[in-house]
Amino acid sequence: MLDGPELNAPVSDGSVPDGSVPDGSALTAGDIRDRVRQFLAATNPVSTPRQDFLHARFDAGLAWVHYPPGLGGLGAPRALQVVADTEFAAAGAPDNDPGGNAIGLGMAAPTILAFGSGKQRKRWLRPLWTGEEIWCQLFSEPGAGSDLASLGTRAVRDPGGDWVVSGQKVWTSLAHQARWAILVARTDPDVPKHRGLSYFALDMTAPGVEVRPLRQLTGEAEFNEVFITDVHIPDADRIGEVGDGWKVATGTLMNERVAIGGMSMPREGGMIGGAARAWREHPERRTPGLHDRMLRLWAEAEIARLAGLRLRQQLAAGQPGPEGSAAKIVFARLNQEISGFEVELAGAEGLRYDDWTMRRPAHADFFGRGPGYRYLRAKGNSIEGGTSEILRNIVAERVLGLPSEPRVDKDVPWKDLPR
């Protein structure tokens, strides 16, 4: 592990290091570049097998540089991650296919880091980052979407202290490929709904887990419904304390909204990229009205990009807050407007796109698809990761300080709520 002058120093046991480990917060962009170049000199990105290269990069602390030493990082400022990624990309090094494990990298990993034990961090973070183990998210249910705390999946403790879980989850991206899932289940029905939840890692290969695909508007089966029937979960796979599931889940959801709404993109490398290219390549399609919309959308996309960079800088101070909800609202609205503009700009060909039936997360290929696909897929942006309506409530209450909506079920035991 690279936490000093040596490239192969010992790796920690996965716990947060003590004061004997050098403080990575003093590292600069130049330090990160030097470390990456030393690493590349010792580990050829062309001749080294891809998985071996990713293992070595993680162990050198150059996976996510802001994580602690021994867990793929150096304890460096979060803003320096882009420095490491840029250096590796310039060298033609293999990446860990971030689009193929977006839930693991954007949601499961920060949750495990914040709430997991040392053994859990050591067990899960390395194969998660290298892509050897894909993760999915088992939160939403047919009767518990926006009101997630009303979920009914039950986890009952067996005589040995482990858990037996039964229930149904829905809208689960990557469930058909996942090795692990982050799961929220009800462990105490006798207390109000927010207080009776616990958080687990579920082995998706365990007996009793059934995944069924859900076909969507674009033609693909990106999402799934998951049936959980008497599935055994060791207590060692519980993340956080019993009854703290809502607290842990809130941390996960905040990270999800930052991942969706605060994506770090180069200028014209994200939402507006396709529209800007089409505008330059097809001057014959331009009209004064479209010109006005193009300017407005470009400006809003640039504002969103810069706001996303600012949000990521704020994350260096700790866990994400409600600001991520605002970023996600803006992303959903703007992405839908831009994709609609692209379709209109493309004219009669706007809604055509090749059949795409790969069951792969849409965010992995969204910006590489045609305007017709993007137009249809963007309709889900205001639903997934928290509906825009719910997120506006969060912003109103937690950012603007407005009065909260009346909650008549706040102090009622979950078992007594009408369903």
Write out the E strands in 145-303.
154-157, 163-170, 180-186, 197-203, 209-214, 223-233
The CA dihedral of 273, 275, 277, 278, to the nearest 10 degrees, is 160
* 268 is known as an active-site residue: no
328 close to 385: Cβ distance less than 8 angstroms: yes
Catalytic, out of 256, 323, 337, 342: 256
- Crossing angle between the packed helical segments 288-315 and 245-261, to the nearest 10 degrees: 140
Determine the straight-line distance between the first and last CA of the chain, rounded to whole angstroms: 52
Q: State both tokens at 216.
A: 């969507």
Whole-number Cα distances in Å, 72 to 12, 60, 121, 129, 160? 10, 7, 10, 8, 34
- Computed on alpha carbons and rounded to an integer, the radius of gyration of the chain in Å comes to 22
- Residues 235 and 383: their CA atoms lie apart, in Å, by 33
32 close to 91: Cβ distance less than 8 angstroms: no
Q: Which residues are catalytic?
A: 256
